[in-house]
């Protein structure tokens, strides 16, 4: 009789521990391996390919490609405005998980080189 009570007790104990384990696994929240960065969703990125110019013409900023402006029917002037992405003055890049414009040089330096 003692053996049967302890066997029943062991089954209940194993069942209870199993349920406890199951609930603990289900309720776990996994934290991302990347440190959270306080970057607005429209500028958040992981790689440079996530980023595009923020405006169709004469852009001075960058944002995530999911928030890109619709530029299919937009005609831009051909002038190179200083401080923009015009004429290869800069490029978009992902810097510390934020889409950013990186200026490569001034407009004068680019015009002198050509």
pLDDT reported for residue 35: 46
Within-domain flag for 3: yes
Cα 69 from Cα 21, distance rounded (Å): 49
Within-domain flag for 36: no
Which range of residues forms the domain containing residue 99? Answer: 48-113
Q: Are residues 52 and 26 in the same domain?
A: no
pLDDT at 12 over 60: yes
Find out whether 107 and 66 touch, Cβ atoms under 8 Å: no
Give pLDDT tens digits for 28-79. Answer: 554 444 444 556 789 999 999 999 999 999 999 999 999 999 999 999 998 9
Overall domain count for the chain:
2
* Tokens linked to 35: 């440190």
Q: Are residues 69 and 106 in the same domain?
A: yes
Within-domain flag for 37: no
Q: Are residues 53 and 12 in the same domain?
A: no
């Amino acid at each position: 009789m003692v053996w049967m009570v302890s066997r029943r007790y062991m089954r209940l104990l194993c069942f209870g521990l199993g349920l406890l384990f199951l609930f603990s696994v289900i309720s776990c929240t996994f934290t991302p391996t990347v440190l959270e960065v306080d970057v607005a969703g429209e500028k958040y990125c992981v790689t440079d390919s996530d980023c595009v110019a923020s405006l169709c013409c004469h852009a001075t900023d960058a944002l995530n490609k999911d928030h890109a402006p619709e530029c299919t029917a937009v005609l831009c002037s051909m002038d190179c405005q200083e401080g923009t992405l015009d004429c290869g003055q800069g490029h978009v890049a992902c810097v510390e998980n934020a889409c950013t414009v990186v200026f490569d040089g001034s407009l004068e330096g680019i015009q002198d080189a050509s």
